Amino acid sequence: MIQASYKKYILNFKQPSGTSRGILKTKETWFLILKSESREGIGECGLFRGLSIDDRVDYEDKLKWVCNNINLGLEVLLPELIEFPSIQFGLETAFKSLESDDVFELFPSKFTQSEAAIPINGLVWMGDEAFMKQQIKEKIEAGFSCIKMKIGAIDFQAEVSLLKSIRNEFSSKDIELRVDANGAFLFEEALETLKILSDFDLHSIEQPIKQGQLEKMALLCEQTPLPIALDEELIGVFNVTKKHELLQTIKPQYIILKPSLVGGFKGSDEWIELSENQNISWWITSALESNVGLNAIAQYTYTKKSKMIQGLGTGGLFTNNFDSPLQVKNGTLKYNRNTNWNIERIQH
């Protein structure tokens, strides 16, 4: 018999972080803890208020329901949680953790053996020009060969001049540049904006216009001078037929998978299979989870053997994150087996 409980946890940002949805100072998350006779498992339900499709008033009720019905098992529970992708992710992780000899080694690999690393992009948060410039400098000095910059919140000309200043110093062979608009541009201006941005030899732009405008996004992807990656567009698309239709309609150059937002490992696997069948490339991104969720996503990502630079977080944004073996070195995420976990704050 398995016993299940859950716990809410508020992550505090070291410094307020700007996105096109506003300034983030805290991030709410939930942990699912499973116990059997001799084992324990933990998973993180990475709810993202304002972005997750499961940002609903009955979220905690659903967690209670999962705990009360935990012995139905994963196969029965997952389909019942189709509208709660972050709980699906937490549940899959918790069961993997419970079944594992090591609570935190969910997908044993060269990554978890500290023999291989995952190349990741360095994320530059929105802010005034000086702040963004400082972050770019720090990322380059830290050895990142790919920088992702959030755009669409400050003055567009200032953002263009930042991109220009990077390109004046580093070619696309030296530094890969990705931009994320979080749906900030109007369709009427998007193509012109993409033409301006394409001068800087960018790798891609994420979600140039707001999600849910399928025909307009399809037109953009057809005419764009710059590869487009779908991100928010995938949120809330639950069944395989609808996923297939979305990719067939829009025909994006890339898709970006956030397991907490698209239904965990199973949901991500479905998107990967569908996109590869249509020759659409993909990469995986975390969504401000604590190190517990980031660890699960990183280990899963490594097993996928993608050649792309991934969008995994570094765990360094929060003052009250958990000590973990995850470390960032020279623009890669590594797993240092000699470092111990500390999740006391969840256990008490």
Q: Among residues 27, 62, 243, 258, which one is catalytic?
A: 258
Question: What does the alpha-carbon distance between residue 348 and residue 343 come to, in Å, rounded to a whole number?
Answer: 9
pLDDT score recorded for residue 90? 98
In the chain, the domains with their CATH numbers are 3-99 (3.30.390.10), 118-347 (3.20.20.120)
Edge-to-edge strand order for the sheet containing 3-19?
Answer: 3-19, 22-35, 40-45
Site of tokens 């976990």: 341
pLDDT one-digit tens code per residue, 239-258: 999 999 999 999 999 999 99
**Active-site residue among 27, 150, 243, 334?**
150
What is the rounded CA–CA span in Å between residue 55 and residue 174? 40
pLDDT of 16 higher than 90: no
113 exposure class (CB count in 10 Å sphere: 0-12, 13-18, 19+): exposed
Instruction: Give tens-digit pLDDT for 145-199.
Output: 999 998 887 789 989 998 999 999 899 999 999 999 989 999 999 999 999 999 9
pLDDT at 102 over 90: yes
The pTM of this model reads 0.95
Contact 150, 124 (CB under 8 A): yes
Q: Any catalytic annotation for residue 258?
A: yes
Alpha-helical runs (H) found in the chain: 59-68, 74-80, 85-99, 129-141, 156-169, 187-198, 214-223, 240-250, 259-262, 264-277, 291-303, 344-347
For residues 220 and 41, what is the distance between their CA atoms, to the nearest angstrom? Answer: 44
Comparing C-alpha atoms, which of 126, 57, 67, 125 is closest to residue 91?
67
Q: What is the amino acid identity at position 175?
A: I
CA 4 – CA 70 distance, rounded (Å): 7
Cα-to-chain-centroid distance, residue 192: 28
Query: Is it the case that residue 347 has pLDDT exceeding 80?
Result: no
pLDDT at residue 18 tops 90: no
